């Protein structure tokens, strides 16, 4: 009996130490972690390496869309409506500094898994940065042209998950190889000036580029009340500002574009100069039989403003775009010298449960010469660990003749009707 009792006590101590107030020994820790920065793998006097991952699982249902789409020219095309589950994107990122903490690097592999088999579904890219001081930083490599708010560097901290509203996607510039100069003009004013190869270089080889570095984009942002607008001017008020945070900003972009240097409509970064009915301006016969543009100049101005207070955020942006200086075949028959479009987006959000549950509604519209497309969205973000690094998103979108789309986006070009999708996102 004593032996059985002794055996029971020993077994309990080994198998259930918590019953006796004991815990298993903590494993030795290697490296460190900083939220939204990543896991530090190496930290020496000569440099540091941090690893970061972004990915999300998506269920997408486009069965509520019309099965066909008719553009402004009266041409009807079929819509490939999807219902699928995808590991939509994966971004593996390595960042840190070398020799001097002011000399920094970011390099990454970014996959677009919905476009497997296409040439640009895997991108290996990055940039080098030297921080002279808070007023002046120089960056070279793959850069994001700061022509709109969502290309300033606040990804992935949007209300939506990895996709922009229709108007934002229609007007914006994208990523290219170039040089950026950025910093602070004062405690409440920031700037970013960028010079690059073209509007979107991802999916474009060097032989497709023209012989000029003639793409410029810049922005100036003012934060009049608190001097900030959340981490990297993110969308929504996850931080729960106790004082009203405000933001006013202006952007300008200019680029001479060549038909040969434009990504295909399903490229990794699906950016092309389109008409408001979704047609790519460099496609053949868009402006009539036997016509095709070879060159055009893109100019775009945008203004954004926003306010955040105690979990509530109201944010908006207005866009004005002009495309002119046409060259190509059959253009003497054109009845216009330039294309002018404008549009806007509005986003309202509220943290129903602080750092846990957010609701949002958004609307955007393009006022174009070939139609007035729009999208209306209702969404919920749930943060199960009350951290921005993990969230589960649910969203319904009502489209009206979307002029933009792609395999990685929740809509195809010409989408008209309803789309539901849900994303489980991880960003550490």
- Which residue, among 163, 173, 165, 170, has the nearest Cα to 197 in the 3D structure? 173
pLDDT of residue 117: 64
Strands 38-44 and 189-196: unpaired
pLDDT of residue 120: 60
| CA of residue 416 relative to chain centroid, distance | 23
Q: How many CB atoms lie within 10 A of CB 325?
A: 14
Q: What is the pLDDT of residues 290-317, one digit of tens each?
A: 899 999 999 999 999 999 999 999 999 9
CA distance 167 to 342: 9
CA distance 199 to 197: 7
> For the whole model, what pTM was predicted?
0.89
Using an 8 Å Cβ cutoff, are 7 and 14 in contact?
no
Using an 8 Å Cβ cutoff, are 155 and 146 in contact?
no
- Domains by residue range for the chain, with CATH: 58-88+133-427 (2.40.160.10)
Q: Which DSSP helix (H) or strand (E) runs through 353?
A: strand 339-353
pLDDT of residue 121: 72
pLDDT of residue 11: 39
Q: How far apart are the first and last CA of the chain?
A: 55
The most distant pair of C-alpha atoms in the chain lies apart, rounded to whole Å, by: 106
pLDDT of residue 12: 46
Using an 8 Å Cβ cutoff, are 278 and 403 in contact?
yes
Using an 8 Å Cβ cutoff, are 425 and 391 in contact?
yes
Could you tell me the two tokens for 59?
A: 């269920």
- Which residue, among 254, 299, 258, has the nearest Cα to 282 in the 3D structure? 258
Q: What are the CA-CA distances from residue 129 to residues 25, 78, 145, 309 (Å)?
A: 42, 46, 16, 34
Q: DSSP label at 330?
A: S
CA distance 281 to 284: 8
pLDDT of residue 29: 58
Counting as low any pLDDT under 50, the low residues of the chain are: 1-25
pLDDT of residue 283: 87
Instruction: Establish whether the linkage from the previous residue to 124 is cis, with ω within 30° of 0.
Output: no
């Amino acid at each position: 009996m004593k032996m059985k009792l002794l055996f029971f006590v020993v077994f309990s101590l080994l198998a259930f130490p918590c019953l006796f107030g004991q815990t298993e020994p903590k494993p030795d820790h290697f490296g460190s972690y900083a939220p939204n920065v990543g896991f530090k793998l190496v930290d020496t006097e000569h440099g540091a390496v941090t690893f970061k991952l972004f990915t999300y699982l998506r269920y997408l249902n486009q069965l509520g869309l019309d099965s066909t789409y008719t553009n402004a020219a009266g041409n009807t095309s079929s819509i490939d409506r999807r219902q699928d589950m995808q590991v939509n994107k994966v971004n593996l990122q390595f960042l840190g500094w070398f020799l001097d903490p002011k000399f920094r690097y970011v390099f990454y592999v970014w996959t677009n898994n919905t476009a497997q088999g296409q040439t640009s579904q895997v991108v290996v890219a990055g940039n080098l940065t030297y921080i002279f001081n808070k007023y002046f930083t120089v960056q070279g490599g793959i850069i994001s042209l700061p022509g709109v708010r969502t290309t300033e560097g606040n990804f992935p901290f949007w209300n939506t998950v990895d996709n922009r509203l229709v108007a934002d996607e229609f007007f914006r510039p994208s990523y290219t190889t170039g040089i950026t100069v950025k910093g602070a003009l004062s405690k409440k004013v920031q700037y970013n000036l960028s010079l690059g190869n073209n509007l979107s270089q991802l999916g474009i080889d060097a032989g497709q580029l023209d012989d000029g570095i003639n793409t410029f984009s810049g922005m100036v942002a003012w934060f009049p009340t608190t001097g900030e607008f959340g981490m990297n001017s993110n969308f929504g008020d996850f931080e729960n500002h106790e004082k009203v945070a405000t933001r006013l900003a202006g952007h300008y972009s200019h680029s001479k574009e060549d038909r040969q240097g434009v990504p295909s409509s399903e490229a990794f970064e699906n950016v092309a100069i389109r008409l408001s009915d979704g047609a790519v301006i460099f496609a053949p016969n868009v402006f009539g039989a036997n016509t095709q543009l070879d060159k055009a100049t893109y100019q775009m101005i945008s203004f954004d403003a926003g306010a955040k207070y105690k979990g509530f955020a109201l944010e908006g942006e207005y866009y004005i775009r002009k495309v002119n200086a046409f060259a190509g075949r059959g253009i003497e028959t054109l009845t216009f010298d330039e294309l002018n479009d404008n549009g806007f987006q509005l986003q309202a959000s509220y943290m129903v449960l602080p750092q846990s549950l957010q609701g949002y509604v958004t609307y955007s519209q393009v006022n174009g010469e070939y139609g007035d497309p729009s999208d209306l969205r209702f969404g919920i973000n749930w943060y199960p660990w009350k951290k921005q690094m993990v969230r589960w998103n649910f969203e319904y979108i009502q489209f009206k003749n979307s002029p933009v789309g792609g395999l990685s986006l929740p809509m195809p070009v010409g989408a008209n009707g309803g789309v539901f999708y849900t994303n489980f996102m991880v960003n550490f």
